[in-house]
Amino acid sequence: MSHRKRKWCLFAIGKVALIVVACVLTQTTRALDDAGLTPKDRLEVFEKVWKEIDDNYYDPTFKGVNWQEVHKRYLPLVEAVKTDAEFYTLINKMAGELRDAHTRVLSPTMLANLEAQRRPSPGLRVEEVEGKPVITSVIAGSDVVLAGIEPGMIVLAIDDQPALEKIAQVRRMIGPSSSKQLDETRVYATIFGGPAGTPLKLRLQRTDGSTFEPSVTRRFVATAPKLTTQVLPSGYAYFTFDQFTAAIAKEVKEALKRLQSTPGLIIDVRDNNGGSAQALYPLTASFYNSKILFLRTTTRTGKQLPDSPPLEIFLGKQGEQLYAGPVVILVGPRSGSTAELFAAGMQETKRASVIGSQSCGCAVGINKQRKLKGGGILEISEVLWLTPSGRKIEGNGVTPDHVVIPTIDDLQKRRDPVLEAAEKLLRELSVTK
């Protein structure tokens, strides 16, 4: 499905790192962002973006931000920019004043990467573990693996700058967003992102305490949605998918039909950054045998907007349940948007237990996309999603029933304590039946 045609979208932090636009531009596609907006055009786009947000943002208080003052402050900055690339960076900084990852401008470059289903990556992920920047995953077969980089290694320096110093510097530069979880993700995405073809030099500490200084090159990696299903040695089914799309929802339903007899199901959305709410509905309905209130929404006026989801969303129907066994959902800081709606709704309706760590807290809805002169797109948070009980997920995230956070030792030993805890819980549930 084309990104330009989606409705009720809740894209969060994973697609092409939309919230850190400066990190994902390439020298080739960057030309798209300098394709010819005149200074007058930039002012026109600026005024349109500001006014559309002023008229349609879901929170009439703008989260306490003085939106009129924002206009006065950014107008001279817009007048001073020299290139379209600088303009798009600035306009997104203005939208970022609302501390909302979903209200943003997608530049022509970002749209091109979205359509191509790709993003630049150094081939590794770094996160804060036990207060230290640690390699948490690497892309199999990448230059990173050939360089000897492994999960559990501690990052000591980045491009010859002490890592902790670099992290503090970037944290001050980008400022806060929707939640602490998202703030940390943005910091590391900003540091390790960058144009394809550019080098990244690191100093790393191995398990044995020794250090080495590998260099890797950022390359494009595919971002096409994918679903992985398997039956674990324990006998439980395990699903993991990274986006909610119509195709993924169909694949999940087909897999549920094949695995109906498994004694328990683990659904891993720790790397799921969101997607289409419309894809959420049929997938989730497969777990219920009767109609149930699954989510609520609200808007600026408290009324349903044209073409937006209803204020109360009921899912499930007698006779259409595909899986009736116990379900455990794995979440973490990168679980965003639709993934959070799924976990929160399943948790509150007592259909699943949630294990892991606090999710992103990035759950607002984009009702429609607004085209801008020059080929950009404006997205605005117009719908606030709520749990069945009315709890706000945006800024808070989903709190697991059982908090399990991997340690550096877990990463070094290739252990997944979150998955292990899920299997343990399913065993306990089978005993108490």
Which two structure tokens, joined as six digits, stand for 46? 């600026």
Separation of alpha carbons 36 and 427, rounded Å: 61
How much is the pLDDT for 17?
Answer: 34
- For the chain, the 3-state helix, strand and coil shares in percent, each to the nearest 5, are 35, 25, 40
Q: Where in the chain is the domain with CATH 3.90.226.10?
A: 227-366+379-428
Provide CB contacts within 8 A for 68, sequence distance 6+: none
* Residue range(s) of every CATH 3.30.750.44 domain in the chain: 3-118
Q: Give the containing element (helix H, strand E) for 240.
A: strand 237-241
Q: Judge whether 167 and 187 are in contact, CB under 8 Å.
A: yes
> According to the model, what pLDDT value does residue 147 have?
94
pLDDT number for residue 33: 53
User: Which pLDDT value is given to residue 14?
Assistant: 35
Q: Domain 3-118 adopts which CATH fold?
A: Transcription Regulator spoIIAA (3.30.750)
Nearest residue to 428 (alpha-carbon basis) of 288, 232, 236, 267: 236
| Residue 374 contacts residue 48 (beta carbons within 8 Å) | no
User: What pLDDT shows up at residue 112?
Assistant: 85
**Which of 365, 313, 294, 340 lies closest to 59, judged by CA?**
365
Using alpha carbons only, give the angle 91, 93, 97 rounded to the nearest 5 degrees: 115
* Residue whose token pair is 């976990």: 343
Q: Which residue has tokens 């929404």?
A: 297
CA angle 93, 341, 24 (to 5 degrees): 35
Helix extents (H) in 204-285? 246-258, 277-285
Q: What are phi and psi of 371, to 5 degrees?
A: -75, 140
Contacts of 327 (CB under 8 A, 6+ apart): 264, 265, 266, 267, 287, 346, 351, 352, 353
CA distance to 167, 184, 211, 215, per residue, from 187 (Å)? 7, 5, 24, 20
Helix axes 277-285, 246-258, angle to 10 degrees: 10
Length of the chain: 433
pLDDT for 23 equals: 35
Return the CATH superfamily for domain 120-222: PDZ domain (2.30.42.10)
Domain with CATH 2.30.42.10 in the chain: 120-222
**CATH top-level class of 227-366+379-428:** alpha beta
- How confident is the model at residue 53, as a pLDDT? 97
Question: Residue 112 half-sphere exposure, CB side, CA atoms within 13 Å?
Answer: 16
Residue pair 335/398 in contact (Cβ under 8 Å)? The answer is: yes
The sheet carrying 227-231 orders its strands as 227-231, 237-241, 265-268, 327-331, 353-356, 402-403
**Residues of the chain scoring pLDDT < 70:** 1-35, 433
Residues whose CB falls within 8 Å of the CB of residue 7, separated by 6 or more in sequence, listed in order: 276, 278, 307, 367, 368
Q: What is the value of pTM for the model shown?
A: 0.90
Amino acid at 375: G
First to last CA, the chain: 42
Look up residue 266 and give its two tokens: 């683990």
| DSSP state letter for 237 | E
231 and 237 Cβ atoms separated by less than 8 Å: yes
